A and B are shown apart, each in its own frame.
Chain A
Amino acid sequence: MARVVTRQHKVIATIAAWLVAFLIFFPILYTIITSLKTEPEAIAGFSLIPSGTFENYITVQTRNDYIRPFMNSVILAVGSTILALIIAIPAAWAMAFSPTKRTKDVLMWMLSTKMMPAVAVLVPIYLMFRDFGLLDTHIGLTVMLTLINLPIVVWMLYTYFREIPGEILEAARMDGAGLWQEIVYVLTPMAVPGIASTLLLNIILAWNESFWTIRLTTTTAAPLTAFIASFSSPQGLFWAKLSAASTMAIAPILILGWFSQKQLVRGLTFGAVK
């Protein structure tokens, strides 16, 4: 009897869950479907079955030079993430393994910089970028994204490093490992999973950052966020192409995101929820 109820319960819950999941995912699904339609099909009313053309993807590339913003997104996201990691790893290491009374304050302060609203510093940043010739450059935007995400990177790494038992590092010290060897042979291999998820999450955040990337670029360094935002001006009837461009813009990060969903919670809540 109990088993029957449980099974029924499971079936009902499954149907409900899949329905909710479908509704939430629907806008993305419909975008992908539309990208495979011809332009007349795309505006011909609701239909989930496309004719299956890849025409739009090709057109987006030939007409709008899709590759350039895509490469810019890659360069900016990966570049800023690696830069942030290089700066943050030593800091997080120090805070996790050689904590002082002030470590907690430093961490909290770093978090507080993340809370500064972007618009509050839009004017000075814009002027500085203009005066130093950094507008629409890869360097300028990479530095910007690095600074924005640095606190999150430090925090994530810190929460991961803190879970590495201190006794293991002491054992390495007893075994004659110098600081450098300790880092290379013991700490890094143990920290790799944490560093990898930090890397992943930070690439996602940098890829999707849509304030500075739109405001500080025009063409040369413009990533996908700016590229897509430029379609907001009246665009006539080329929705299938817009869908194709959108699909390409979100696909890589969607896939990365699926892999990193577990770490996401921890990273975005600064370790407050695990």
Chain B
Amino acid sequence: MGSITLNKVSKSFGEAKVIPSIDLEIVDGEFVVFVGPSGCGKSTLLRLIAGLEDVSGGKIMIDGKDVTDNAPAQRGLAMVFQSYALYPHMSVRNNIAFPLKMAKVDKAAIDQKVTDAARVLNLTDYLERRPSQLSGGQRQRVAIGRAIVREPSAFLFDEPLSNLDAALRGTMRLEITQLHHQLKTTMVYVTHDQVEAMTMADKIVVLNRGNIEQVGSPLDLYSRPRNIFVAGFIGSPKMNLIEDDYARSKGAKTVGIRPEHFTLSRDSGLWSGTVKVAEHLGSDTFLHLDVDGIGHINARCDGEFGARHGDRIFLTPNETKLHRFNEQGLAI
């Protein structure tokens, strides 16, 4: 009930070609995340799906029906905006009820649905307040409530958590994921935060300059990035990308090693280096190393490995976990 198909969709603003041509299949019930650096066209793509922008070319289908020329309201989608876009002059209750009112649902049914949504979202005590009297997280929930009550065939989220503080972001992330399990409705979620992408998605779409770099499950992208861009973008701390002699010895232009794929030792190893900064997180420690003959390397080690600034340590890359890329930056 919520499959979305993009067929050679392109978008230009005047002269600027923001999205050259995109093909994408979103299966019903999937949680799809669009990630990519700022300005790569994530929002634009989402707004094309929503119908808030006209496509410059190509087709958009929802449940097999061509909706390219349909107005936003006719597409049966709901959207949650980054700024929440709540109606400031309406109470929480009326905000949530608004789409139902527009759909001319009868009064009793509206009340029922609003009450249900409020319960699910823990908003029952706030129904009579104005949005300005709510906290950021509560506003976010109202925006989600407004989307839920319409029972859309898919939800669209544009960086919904970026205005919240880190702790709240964690909670809301969880709530949205749970909501998805509950509703089993298709969700398309835009973010530039790859932690959100990794933790929430069934399927991640990595965008760069309006092009899809790779589509796949989070672990897929993590362990088998198709090119250097995806390799560098997914994962935190970033994958180490090494060129020169070491790469050549492995038969590649560039070799990528994730920070956790090193064996660290105090007394022996393939490479040696100096600890520049050690970030102790308790469970893990992130080391920023200056490795002789290679340069800057991020490595992750056990929390117990008590390295400090200035220490000399040895490290050996795990050869089986290497990512090799050719001249074009594609994985070999």
Contacts and interface: CB of A to CB of B under 8 A. Distances in A.
B79 A185 contact: no
A141 B114 CA distance: 52
| A interface, over-half SS | helix
Interface stretch (B80-88, B186-194, B208-216, B298-306): B80-88
A41 B87 CA distance: 60
A234 interface: no
B79 A174 contact: yes
B72 interface: yes
B68 to A, nearest CB: 17
Contacts of B102: 175-178, 181
Contact of B73 (A177, A185, A189): A177
B103 interface: yes
A168 B102 CA distance: 15
Interface in B101-136: 101-103
Contact of A170 (B77, B85, B101): B85
B247 to A, nearest CB: 46
Given A174-B79, A176-B73, A167 B88 contact: no
Given A175-B99, A176-B102, A177-B102, A189 B89 contact: yes
Contacts of A172: 87, 98
Interface string B52-90: 100000000000000000011100011101110111111
Contacts of B71: 173
Contacts of A167: 81-83, 85
A134 interface: no
B145 to A, nearest CB: 12
A171 interface: yes
B70 to A, nearest CB: 12
Given A167-B81, A181-B102, A185-B98, A174 B52 contact: yes
For chain B, the bracket of interface size reads 20 to 34
B77 A174 contact: yes
Contacts of A177: 73, 98, 102
Given A174-B50, A174-B79, A175-B150, A168 B87 contact: yes
A190 interface: yes
Contacts of B86: 168, 171
Interface string A166-202: 0110111111111001000110011000000000000
A186 B85 contact: no
A176 B83 CA distance: 19
B93 interface: no
A175 B52 contact: no
A175 to B, nearest CB: 4
A197 B128 CA distance: 28
A77 B330 CA distance: 72
Contacts of A171: 79, 81, 85-87, 146
Nearest to A189: B89
B81 A170 contact: yes
A190 B83 CA distance: 16
A165 interface: yes
A174 B73 contact: yes
B87 A173 contact: no
B87 to A, nearest CB: 6
B89 A175 contact: no
Contacts of A174: 50, 52, 72-73, 77-79, 99
Nearest to A181: B102
Nearest to B103: A176
A173 B89 CA distance: 17
A173 B52 contact: yes
Interface string B214-251: 00000000000000000000000000000000000000
A168 B73 contact: no
Nearest to B14: A101
Nearest to A166: B85
A167 B81 CA distance: 7
Nearest to A101: B14
A189 B95 CA distance: 13
A178 to B, nearest CB: 8
Contacts of B82: 167
Contacts of A190: 87-89
A178 B73 CA distance: 8
Contact of B146 (A175, A181, A186): A175
A178 B98 CA distance: 12
B59 to A, nearest CB: 20
Nearest 6 CB-CB pairings of A with B = A175-B99, A171-B85, A176-B73, A176-B102, A167-B85, A189-B89
15 contacts: A168-B85, A168-B86, A168-B88, A170-B79, A171-B86, A174-B72, A175-B73, A175-B78, A175-B150, A176-B103, A176-B150, A177-B102, A185-B98, A189-B87, A190-B89
Interface of A: 165, 167-168, 170-178, 181, 185-186, 189-190
Given A171-B85, A171-B146, A174-B99, 4 more contacts: A170-B52, A175-B102, A189-B87, A190-B88
